Amino acid sequence: MPPIATRSNCCWLSPPSDIGIEPSRLAIADLDAPLIGDFLRHLEDERGNSVRTRNARLAAVIQRVLSIPPKRFDRALVTYLTDPEIDALLAAPDPGTWTGRRDRVGVQTK
């Protein structure tokens, strides 16, 4: 089985030295729950990484093992408002209340 890492990108998943495998020689078959668990504990306990970093590393391992590419998506951006939308936005705050006057100033300020 081909290695899953190269020397340049394997430093984030370094197996314990007692298993006798260089990180660049790790294969998917070498990854089991105890090895990954030990690695995650090592991140938190010895390297002082946060839980977020630990979870990011776990997600990367899972993604690599399952060969699931990340999904990208396009987000529609609102680049402008039409004249009726601007009028509705400006008319929305109630000038008869303190919060309405505050909101109206916030909406009208450039």
- Burial of residue 15 (number of CB atoms within 10 Å: 0-12, 13-18, 19+): buried
Read off the amino acid at residue 4.
Answer: I
Q: What pLDDT score was predicted for residue 107?
A: 80
> Rounded mean pLDDT of the chain?
77
Q: Residue 43, exposed/middle/buried by CB under 10 A (0-12, 13-18, 19+)?
A: buried
HSE-up of 71 (CA within 13 Å, CB side)? 2
- In this predicted model, what pLDDT tens digit does every residue of 59-98 receive, in sequence order? 888 877 777 776 777 888 777 888 898 889 888 999 899 9
Query: What per-residue confidence (pLDDT) applies to 93?
Result: 92
Average pLDDT value for residue range 50-54: 89
Q: Give residue 1's pLDDT.
A: 37
Statement: residue 57 has pLDDT above 90: no
